[in-house]
Every structure is written in structure tokens, then in C-alpha cells.
Amino acid sequence: MALNASTQIGHPAQQVIATLSDRGFADHLTKVANGTLTEFTVDGDIAGAFTLTTVRSVPTDRVPDIARKFVGSSIEVTQVEKWSAPDAAGSRSATVQITVGGVPVTVNGTEQLTGQGEVSELAVDAKVSSSIPFIGGKLASAAEPYIGKALNLQAAQVNAWLSK
């Protein structure tokens, strides 16, 4: 299933990328989602190209019913973002891969952080897929709205974090 979502963030792209690559912010965002941050690594200098890996343990109480039969009370979500170096406006792109431990659901796609002066736009273009025969498509369809909600939550929390 295709996932296309974008949202405005009321801060410059440099501040947004600094926040997204901050362990304190990642821990805060994970707690807002009632999860636990279990791993957070930044490989490279965020002034250039870098890779961000985040592993979270999140409760499954909000997981779609169709997926709940495959998981326990929590799932481990691994997100790997490979960010390009910024252009002159601070815009950059990333390939993103999200895997869910114990569930054959993956998300592969791109993120685009576009600097527009004092504001930014964060967009995701990805494909949610599942390899389970017969119900994989239903599982991917059920997961899709949650990923869009996660993007909106992330943007709202970036705005709140930077407005402190």
C-alpha cells in the first residue's frame, strides 16, 4: 500500500534535522507514544550525510485488530533513515526503512525535508508491505493510517520541542 503524507513544521530545516537527530527528542517522542527507546544511534555528522537508527518498544494496544493476533503486548519497531547532506536551503532527503519485530510488515520509502525559510515541510512517500499470504494486503492497509498519524505526531512534537 502506498503512503504519501506531508506536514508543515514552523521552524527552519536545520533546526528540524537537529531535533530529529537528538536522543533527548527521540526519547520524548517515544514516551508520548507510551513506548520505550531501546536504541538510538547517529552515524556521521548531521551537518552532512548521516544515518539515524531508532529502535523503540511500543505497546500494541493501538495496533489494528488484524495485526494483534501476530504480536504480544509490545512490538519492537526499528527505523533506519539515511539522510543526504543538505542543500543551500537546508533541504535534504532520506531513504527510510521501518521493520516491526515479529511481524512481517515493512515500510520502505523516502522522506523529504524541505527548507522554506523559517518553516519546513516534512514529506514521506513510502510503501507499506507484508509478506503474509492472503492477509498481507489487509495488514498493510490497516497499518497505513497509523504511519500517517505517527508523522503528524512527530511534526507536532518537533514544533513543541523547538518552541520551548
29, pLDDT greater than 90: yes
Return the C-alpha cell found at 127.
Answer: 510503501
pTM to 2 decimal places: 0.88
Q: pLDDT-derived band of residue 136, with 50, 70 and 90 as boundaries?
A: low
55-93 confidence digits (pLDDT tens): 999 887 766 666 666 667 788 999 999 999 999 999 999
Q: Rg for the chain (alpha carbons), in Å?
A: 16
Buried b (16+ CB within 10 A) or exposed e, 44-73: eebeeebebebbbebeeeebeeebeebbee
Domains of the chain (ranges; CATH) run 2-162 (3.30.530.20)
C-alpha span between 83 and 93 (Å, rounded)? 6
Question: CB within 8 A of 2, min separation 6: which ones?
Answer: 125, 126, 127, 128
